[in-house]
Amino acid sequence: MSDVSPRPEPFAPHTDPAVLEDLRTRLRATRWPDAPEDAGWSLGTDIGYLRELIAHWADGFDWPAQEAALARLPRFRVPLGGLGIHFVHARAVAPTEPVLPLVLSHGWPDSFWRYTKVIPLLTDPGAHGADPADAFDVVVPDVPGFGYSDRPTGPPLDSIAVAGLWAQLMGVLGYERFGAAGGDIGSHVSRYLALDHPDRVVAVHRMDGGLPVLTGDPADLTPGERAWMEGVGAWSATEGAYAAMHRTKPQTAAVGLTDSPAGLAAWIVEKLRAWSDCDGDVERAFTKDEILTNVTLYWLTGTIGSSMRMYNANAAIPPEQLARRVEVPSGFSLFRGDVVRPPRAWLERTTNAVRVTEPPRGGHFAPFEEPELYAEELREFFRPFRAAAAAATETATG
């Protein structure tokens, strides 16, 4: 076996104009479904709004400009576990103190896109009105099957396996100890980083507590915990059809969503609206160009099917794994507009929760919706843990 560490290589994709022309042709040829009058968003994506979005995608959206903007981020690919992993690696700018490395994990339906606005706020806080001592080295990988990372050709990877890859990645980048943060699937990945690599993760920050898994006596739950679990069940009954499809028969939906860009946009934009803090108006949280950048990444990489398959993999994680308690210091930012927000009692039951906040704005995609607020949440939470990471770095390099 070779002892040579894999080498990250710079990565800057350039889309073939013929691929974009094919996309525009498909968009202009969309076969539209009927919809009841005044249905709005009550039955799913509002067809009237989707028509506007698709028209802009076909004739107004400038993907080369968006691709050039994304290329300004320091992006790389590296082979890990037989897969090419795409990631952003942005180093702190002119730090005044030892820098804390931080790996940020995204969820669905997004990619490294989720963190594109917040990266400069974390690497160069002094330029954004914050304390330069709070600078991070930021690593934002695309989960395999998402974005520009390879799609697994065999069984999809679950959150435990992805956490193992991120631990390898941070080692390749020279980080012995680091912080971890994420939301949605990224919250699960961050959790397993803390569970399986507690000697390396100084602290973990999450935007949610995951869906509840109770292995003990329900009588031990607080009234708030019981109410929350009932609320999760009600939410799943009215809003969880997408997840049931992803868990069980993702390939069926993948056929249509991979073939039809309008269908892909409908599948994604409905979640951007429902899970963001936008009071029903998706463009209070995202511009059309921002929405379409996210959707176009899925279209060009052909990853909607592989991203959905991760739900199937995570559904097979054994209950004993889901029941493990996180002992690494944990922080939670439960943004106002997010879904199924857990009570503090549950977080303290399942983790070593040292900080729980409820920011007044933002939703499921808070790093994109409210990047300044999210950056401040991370700075505040990780500040007490910087010394531990710095001491480990000095020991490793000294």
Higher model confidence: residue 95 or residue 63?
Answer: 63
- For this structure, is 311 an active site residue? yes
Whether residue 370 has pLDDT greater than 70: yes
- For this structure, is 106 an active site residue? no
CATH code (residue 356):
3.40.50.1820
- For this structure, is 184 an active site residue? yes
Q: What is the predicted pLDDT for the residue at 398? A: 40
Domain presence at residue 363: yes
- Residues 148, 192, 311, 374: which is the catalytic one? 311
Could you tell me the two tokens for 86?
């795409």
Q: DSSP class of residue 248?
A: H
Phi/psi zone of residue 344: left (φ > 0), alpha (ψ -120 to 50 degrees), beta? alpha
Residue 74 corresponds to which amino acid? P
pTM for this one?
0.95
Distance of CA 361 to the CA centre of its chain: 18
pLDDT band at 393; cut points 50, 70, 90? low
Domain presence at residue 3: no
Domain presence at residue 250: yes
pLDDT band at 98; cut points 50, 70, 90? confident
Q: Supply the range of the domain harboring residue 179.
A: 47-397
Domain presence at residue 96: yes
Domain presence at residue 332: yes
Structurally, how many domains does the chain consist of? 1
- Residues 184, 208, 277, 338: which is the catalytic one? 184
d(CA 388, CA 100): 9
Q: H or E segment at 383? A: none
Burial zone of 171 (CB within 10 Å; 0-12 exposed, 13-18 middle, 19+ buried): middle
- Residues 124, 150, 364, 374: which is the catalytic one? 364
Domain presence at residue 1: no
Per-residue pLDDT reduced to its tens digit, 138-158: 999 999 999 999 999 999 999
Whether residue 262 has pLDDT greater than 50: yes
Domain presence at residue 257: yes
Domain presence at residue 14: no
Could you tell me the two tokens for 126?
């002094």
d(CA 182, CA 331): 11
d(CA 151, CA 123): 29
Per-residue pLDDT reduced to its tens digit, 321-347: 999 999 999 999 999 999 989 999 999
